[in-house]
Structure 1
Amino acid sequence: MKNLKLLFILFFISLITVGCFEDLDDNPISTKDLNDFVWKGLNRYYLYKDNVPDLADDRFTASEYETFLNSFTAPEDCFESLMYQRQTIDRFSWITDNYIELQQQLNGTTYNNGMEFGLVRFSSTSNDIFAYVRYVLPNTDAENKGIQRGMIFNAVNGVSLNLENYRQLLSPNNYTINLATYNDNGTPEIEDDFVVPTNTSVNLTKSPYTENPIFIKQVLQVADQNVGYLMYNGFTRDFDSQLNDTFNYFQSQNIQNLVLDLRYNSGGSVNTAILLSSMITGQFTGQTFATQQWNSDIQSQLDPNALIYTFTNNDDGTPLNSLNLGKVYVLTSKSTASASELVINCLNPYIEVIQIGTATTGKYQASITLYDSPDFSGQNINPTHTYAMQPLVLKTLNAVGNTDYIDGLYPNFPAKETYGNLGTLGDPDETLLAIALQHIVDTGKMSLQPFSNLELVGDSKDFTLTKNRMYIDGK
């Protein structure tokens, strides 16, 4: 798509293999040189450069810059020192010491045991948490060992999960989960709910896995209407053709309504978000989908027309299968982020978007991968290390200028999954899907479930490099 190619800013990610590198031990890079890469990359591209005094072009004399670089013992420390309002505004920029793994994950490949889960605590005053299985990926260790949606576990390797230890316990490629049951004590209130350990444990092993983000596609017959249901779990460019095929299927079934389930979708490619939105609609080709806002230096150098994403009717020449809908139902949770939020926000000015679930994450910014190369692209990368950065470089505004939804996008109909009774994804009786179908049948007369205030504190995608990532690419 022509409007995605921002000349010198957007670049193709090169495919790099380990074999093309020199022995890093033979040619070690100094921490000062790594810090220099960090500062120069952020000075050029960081969205919030104007808000960080140490990133100003005239901030340092040569000797002061040398002192600044030498003041950090690790590039991660230098990177963090240059972030803007880390706890609120920029929660999403990061640096990695292994961009080979990052490139694999951008293509949808992670080390995965197949168990996708959420992590929950009962109250803001408790450190104890439990996990619930959201879904299980096909042909994985979790599927082979009988893990199913709705299972509960509150310990790993015999150690109870809490806010301080869950990352350490769930990060290894092999661990054992200790299963439990959720007891609501026979009441709708959660104050008396508790989790009961069982004597059952399951050992799980991760292996390289490429996830198809199209988890469920089906058509439901509801009140003489054909309702399409799509559970879509990641905006992955390598699966765009399969996404287009899915909408061809919906077209062939003459669906009148679409339920788009993004509750577990933490984001991905901006280009894929545009394609999905254009498949849902189709009547807005060439109109503004979103506008980009970069830091003041880059913004001043760009043609204003290059800052506009538009709805499209093709993917690099392949016609899109578009539904021309005037309304879409979107299921969301706190795990719904970045490119998922982009779809919701940018469709809102054009069609009726009925959001069901909980508020989303609140990520309206996009990033690019910066490598240690002369122009920060994936070409001619410094062979002495594998560091790369993923800083926020732009924020998106929809056609009427809405952005900065730091607290997330709020649902029209608030509802949460019931952890003690999750139901089956795609089943008309599953909590969130049932609300959407009820709205379709009863034209807005809703009978909602009690709203639980159990706090979601994380999920299985926390253990990947690409969670909550909305990225731009050269395609």
Structure 2
Amino acid sequence: MRYTKITFLSMLLFLSVFIFSCSDNDSSAPVYEEGTNEYVNEWMYQQMKRYYLWNTSMSQKGSLSIFPQDYFAGLLEKGDRYSYAVHPELPETAGQSLRRKFGFDVSFFEFEAKYYAVILYVLEDSPAKRNGLKRGQLITKVEGTPLNQNNYDELYLKMTSASQLNIQTVSYTAQTGFSNLKEVSILQGYTFSQPVKYTVIEDKSKKIGYVEISHFDVGQAQLFLQTFQELKNKSITELVVDLRYNGGGDIASAAALSIILAPDIQSGSLFIKFEGNTNGGKVDQSFKEALAGNESKISFEALRGAHPSINKVYILCGKHTASASELIINNLKPYMEVITIGDKTFGKDVAGFPIEDDRISGKKGWTLYPAIYKIFNSRHEGNYSQGIDPLISVNEIQQPEVFPLGNSSEILLAKALNSITGNTAKTFSPSVKCFPISVNKSDTDFLIIH
């Protein structure tokens, strides 16, 4: 997963409302020696007083001598799960997660009195993928230690903090049982751009498009255009979009997808409402304006041309569905029927942009990621900080066999297909007891605004 660095020169849509400067401090601010905690924390305080959504309830300035990350945390509103600060030269300040370090996600379950970590998602071109991990494999040992009821959460934390991961995996199918025991060693590394995967499923004379999107990257509109033009050419009449492992990203990318999906919209139709503090004010953006924020090569009209013959969309979601993915769910509702299937989403209903301390020439300083705006749809619906409840609640882990994404037997997709075709076939009773791990906020991204 990549961070997207956005300069303030690109925030053209907001210049008519207010002017922000990342490096300017109040003229009355004291002057401290460069590089000291006081120097950094004074800057942090001034930026937060200017930009932070909840700036009026911030604590007093307090001691400026403490470590900047701790100082930043002390400024946050109680219950703020979104805002964070990182330093590029201090890796320990960045969030620790399997997804960011190795490129995969897991959850835990108990089956026949034994504990397993099931691999839920593997990013393409990631350390995990390059070492052969795939969805559905079960982890039985971490650093030689078998998982059990008393240590699975401790071993998970060990995995997230490691730079090299040594695990034992096993495969499982209902037909063959457990097989293919392997020892796997993975070094922490980079994960690169993700593809948009799709397939067409034909069932009861219906052509159903299934699209899996793992992140909303800058410049993804071209990929969406190509994908949905191909689906349109295949004459799909129903659509399932899988966002269950999509932690968010770029708002213009999310707008591009929304333009393709929503029926009967115009370029000037209202897409998103931002509400900030008294400095930020309120900003409304149409579909076209939101797209133009970071997608200059693809037009609104081109994206509309790829709109398939649909008037509703099925969205697969879960606790990893956050930020721009939740925006898709909430902000399409005024324009089309949105049927969500899965688990409650993460609950990130705020937007922001990175604020970099670039006061020292040639040296990168702290970068702040504060919550700056609450976001709403065109009907002023939002306030989903506790997550969005799915219309159809389904746990994707019910059996020890977990099918690949896009497979018609996969739990959430099967539920969507049954809803589309009217199939009322009974599902199997769960045979596992799940122990999900809380999502790290570093696995989710802000809606980056421009």
Q: What TM-score comes out, normalization by structure 1 length?
A: 0.76
Identity of aligned residues (%): 25
Displacement after TM superposition at 1:473 (Å): 3.5
Cα 1:298–1:146 change in 2 (3 A) is closer
**Cα shift readout 1:297-342 (whole Å, capped 9, x = no counterpart):** 321xxxx5xx112223884353212236310000011111111111
Q: Is 2:426 aligned against 1:468?
A: no
Residue matched to 2:395: 416
Residue matched to 2:51: 45
Residue matched to 2:344: 359
Cα 1:294–1:227 change in 2 (3 A) is same
- Root-mean-square deviation over aligned CA pairs: 3.6
Structure 1 unaligned residues grouped into runs of 5+:
14-26, 55-64, 123-127, 185-195, 374-379
Structure 2 unaligned residues grouped into runs of 5+:
1-9, 23-32
State the one-letter code of the partner of 1:156: V
Structure 2 residue aligned with 1:440, among 394, 416, 420? 420
Q: Is 2:270 aligned against 1:277?
A: no
Q: Is 2:159 aligned against 1:166?
A: no
**Cα shift readout 1:279-309 (whole Å, capped 9, x = no counterpart):** 112521221112101013321xxxx5xx112
Give the match's secondary structure for 2:153.
Answer: coil
Q: Is 2:212 aligned against 1:231?
A: yes
Map 1:395-410 → 2, pairs under 5 A: 395-410=374-389
Q: Is 2:234 aligned against 1:253?
A: yes
Distance (Å, rounded) in 2 between the aligned partners of 1:37 and 1:121: 46
Map 1:303-452 → 2, pairs under 5 A: 307-312=283-288, 315-316=295-296, 317-318=298-299, 319-320=302-303, 321-323=306-308, 325-373=310-358, 383-418=362-397, 420-442=400-422, 445=424, 447=426, 450=429
Indicate conservation of the 8 Å contact 1:365/1:396, yes or no. yes
- Number of equivalent positions: 406
Distance (Å, rounded) in 1 between the aligned partners of 2:210 and 2:377: 25
Map 1:5-404 → 2, pairs under 5 A: 5-7=13-15, 29-54=35-60, 68-70=62-64, 72-86=65-79, 90-98=80-88, 113-114=102-103, 116-120=104-108, 130-159=116-145, 160=147, 162-179=152-169, 200-214=182-196, 216-285=197-266, 286-299=268-281, 307-312=283-288, 315-316=295-296, 317-318=298-299, 319-320=302-303, 321-323=306-308, 325-373=310-358, 383-404=362-383
Displacement after TM superposition at 1:183 (Å): 11
Give the match's secondary structure for 1:411.
Answer: coil
Distance (Å, rounded) in 2 between the aligned partners of 1:391 and 1:129: 38
Distance (Å, rounded) in 2 between the aligned partners of 1:218 and 1:12: 45
Distance (Å, rounded) in 2 between the aligned partners of 1:78 and 1:135: 35
State the one-letter code of the partner of 2:43: F
Cα 1:113–1:80 change in 2 (3 A) is closer
Indicate conservation of the 8 Å contact 2:247/2:324, yes or no. yes
Q: What TM-score comes out, normalization by structure 2 length?
A: 0.79
Give the match's secondary structure for 2:50.
Answer: helix
State the one-letter code of the partner of 2:436: L
Give the match's secondary structure for 1:238.
Answer: coil
State the one-letter code of the partner of 1:135: Y
Cα 1:52–1:11 change in 2 (3 A) is closer
Indicate conservation of the 8 Å contact 1:175/1:204, yes or no. yes
Distance (Å, rounded) in 2 between the aligned partners of 1:329 and 1:204: 35
Distance (Å, rounded) in 2 between the aligned partners of 1:471 and 1:99: 24
Give the match's secondary structure for 1:207.
Answer: coil
Indicate conservation of the 8 Å contact 1:415/1:448, yes or no. no
Cα 1:121–1:132 change in 2 (3 A) is closer
**Cα shift readout 1:331-372 (whole Å, capped 9, x = no counterpart):** 011111111111001111221111111111111111210111
Cα 1:141–1:38 change in 2 (3 A) is closer
Cα 1:283–1:10 change in 2 (3 A) is farther
Distance (Å, rounded) in 1 between the aligned partners of 2:246 and 2:18: 27
Distance (Å, rounded) in 2 between the aligned partners of 1:308 and 1:181: 50
Give the match's secondary structure for 1:297.
Answer: coil
Indicate conservation of the 8 Å contact 2:142/2:155, yes or no. no
Indicate conservation of the 8 Å contact 1:118/1:458, yes or no. no
Most deviating of 156-165 and 383-392: 156-165
State the one-letter code of the partner of 2:144: G
Indicate conservation of the 8 Å contact 1:178/1:198, yes or no. no
Distance (Å, rounded) in 2 between the aligned partners of 1:138 and 1:276: 21
Distance (Å, rounded) in 2 between the aligned partners of 1:401 and 1:447: 39
Displacement after TM superposition at 1:200 (Å): 3.8
**Cα shift readout 1:185-212 (whole Å, capped 9, x = no counterpart):** xxxxxxxxxxx99974211123323131
State the one-letter code of the partner of 2:248: G
Give the match's secondary structure for 1:209.
Answer: coil
State the one-letter code of the partner of 1:31: N
Indicate conservation of the 8 Å contact 1:119/1:129, yes or no. no
Cα 1:328–1:39 change in 2 (3 A) is same
Cα 1:112–1:85 change in 2 (3 A) is closer
